[in-house]
Structure 1
Amino acid sequence: MKRDLDLVRDLLLALEERHSGHIYPAKLKVAGRSGYEVSYHLAILEDAGFVRRPEVTITPGSVVSGRAIQQAGSSIRMTWQGHEFLDTVRDPEIWRKTKAGASKVGSVGVDLLWGLAKEYVRAEIKERLGISLE
């Protein structure tokens, strides 16, 4: 399956909207996307360090159901890095410019895409505030 950066952004936006800070992947729905697409992209977001599953620790002697362990281990939350990336590409116009710029050079990885988005944000800051961030 090919990585879909629009879906990556949509998933991060959806995760951020969760008041609890975490969600079970099976409950995360994105309009027009299959469960397979969502699951795959959540897995690669985890690979990239943008989301993670909480560690499950059990105190010796405690009684915990297998279902509770399974549920705790299967929930996901966004990491600091995930929030940072999302904050950079949140603005729809910045996202549009970033994708357009990336398409001019062909395929780029997330690090380069993120760097490109940061440069567009810096340009917006300079234009709107007259401040140059170097």
Structure 2
Amino acid sequence: MKLKHDCVRYVLLTLEAQGLDMLHSGVELSQLLPEMVNSRYSEDDITYTLLQLLDGKYINADYQKYALGFSLIVFDITWSGHELLDSIRDDEVWNQTKKVTSSIKSVSIGVLKNVATAVLTGIIKQKTGLPL
């Protein structure tokens, strides 16, 4: 499967909105999917994105694989996950980041974050005149 950057952003924003209940007891994938699945992202998109975010250490979760399936309980977004989310949260920054990276076929999450950070820095410089 392909990791969709828009879906990564969407999943992180949705997880952030879960509140402290998620931190204490976790939220099972079966509870997240009805809230997250929409016309843009299927159950497979959301599940794959969550698993990749776990693998990349952007979320804390318990993943158990069984002979006939798996379970996934998400507890929170990690520090790295918050750094990524904070760099791509703003719609203006996100749209400019996607525009910059759209002509490149292979853009990792790390590169995406770096481009978003550069875009954000440019916007801050432009709006404040600060020499960042």
TM-score tier by shorter-chain length is 0.7 to 0.9
**Counterpart Cα distance in 1 of 2:88 and 2:31:** 24
Q: Aligned residue for 2:56?
A: 48
Q: Aligned residue for 1:26?
A: 30
Q: What's the offset of the Cα at 1:21?
A: 5.5
Q: Match for 1:17: what amino acid?
A: A
Structure 1 segments (4+ residues) deviating >4 Å: none
CA shift digits 1:24-46 (9 cap, x unpaired): 22222232222222111100011
Percent identical residues? 33
Q: Match for 2:52: what amino acid?
A: I
Q: Which runs of 5+ in 2 are unaligned?
A: 63-70
Q: What's the offset of the Cα at 1:104?
A: 2.4
Q: Aligned residue for 1:74?
A: 73
Q: Match for 2:31: what amino acid?
A: K
TM-score, length-scaled by structure 1 = 0.79
TM-score, length-scaled by structure 2 = 0.80
In the alignment, does 2:97 pair up with 1:110? no
Q: What's the offset of the Cα at 1:52?
A: 1.3
Q: Aligned residue for 1:60?
A: none
Q: Aligned residue for 2:123?
A: 124
Higher radius of gyration, 1 or 2: 1
The answer on whether the counterparts of 1:12 and 1:78 sit within 8 Å (CA) in structure 2 is yes
Indicate the structure with greater strand content: 2
Q: What's the offset of the Cα at 1:76?
A: 3.1
1:75-90 aligned at under 5 Å gives the runs: 75-90=74-89
**Counterpart Cα distance in 1 of 2:86 and 2:21:** 16
Q: What's the offset of the Cα at 1:20?
A: 2.0
